[in-house]
Amino acid sequence: MSEHTNTLIAIRDTSDILLSAKAKYKSCDYYGAIAEYSLAIEFHPHMSLAFCCRGDAYYKLGEAQKAMNDYNRSSELDPKLVIVYYRRGNLYYSTKDYDLAIADYSHAIELKPDFALAYSSRGCAYKELYGEQEAAVDWRAAAKLFKEQGNLEKYNYMLELTALSTSIDTLTSGMLL
């Protein structure tokens, strides 16, 4: 067999492995997904997306450090892979490290300015650190993007969050502390 043929077989086999890993992840077989992503990484140790996806499976299992290691490796291999910053931001958010979550969400937005979910999530992190008013700025941006992208369910949800935060601000602004 030629080297070219071997390369094509390895690519086809890796594609099959990644499809299997994705199916296992979707069916909540996270251990199976980790095994498949690990096999893909063994064949292609520079495949950023495989590290990111394996990190997601570790995250679902509550293995935060392993997830972080994979997200970090993914971002090292491909600094322009937007989704890894969003997902690592989610990991930081879940551990209440809101500053780092905001930094990752912001980086994802820099790379992909129409990433509505990143605005929405960054708004949640802002809410935790700075309050509803700061969060509403990102929630309005997310609402606008969701509407432009045709996701009316998330658009309406963002509008509700923004309206709720405005109502809370109005109610509390007249209170004496």
Tell me the per-residue pLDDT of 139-158, one tens digit each, with 9 for 90 and over.
999 999 999 999 999 999 99
CATH of domain 1-79: 1.25.40.10
pTM: 0.85
CA atoms of 141 and 61, how far apart (whole Å): 32
At 103 the pLDDT is 98
CA atoms of 117 and 45, how far apart (whole Å): 29
Q: Span 121-128, mean pLDDT? A: 96
pLDDT confidence tier of residue 15, bands split at 50, 70 and 90: confident
Average pLDDT for the chain: 88
Ramachandran class of 29: left when φ > 0, alpha when ψ lies in -120 to 50, beta otherwise = beta
Helical H segments across the chain, by residue range:
3-26, 30-43, 48-60, 64-77, 82-94, 98-111, 116-130, 132-148, 152-173
Q: At what angle do helices 82-94 and 98-111 cross, to 10 degrees?
A: 160
Do 152 and 130 meet the contact criterion of CB atoms below 8 Å apart?
A: no
Indicate the Cα dihedral angle 38, 3, 19, 41, nearest 10°: 20
Do 135 and 116 meet the contact criterion of CB atoms below 8 Å apart?
A: no
pLDDT confidence tier of residue 133, bands split at 50, 70 and 90: confident
Q: Encoding tokens for residue 119? A: 């605005």
CA atoms of 96 and 111, how far apart (whole Å): 24
At 12 the pLDDT is 56
At 164 the pLDDT is 72
Q: Does the pLDDT value for residue 91 go beyond 90?
A: yes
> For the CA atoms of the chain, what is the radius of gyration?
20
Residue range 25-67, pLDDT digits in tens: 999 999 999 999 999 999 899 999 999 999 999 999 999 999 9
Do 162 and 139 meet the contact criterion of CB atoms below 8 Å apart?
A: yes
Do 165 and 135 meet the contact criterion of CB atoms below 8 Å apart?
A: yes
At 9 the pLDDT is 41
Q: DSSP state, 27?
A: T
At 14 the pLDDT is 81
Domain limits, the chain: 1-79
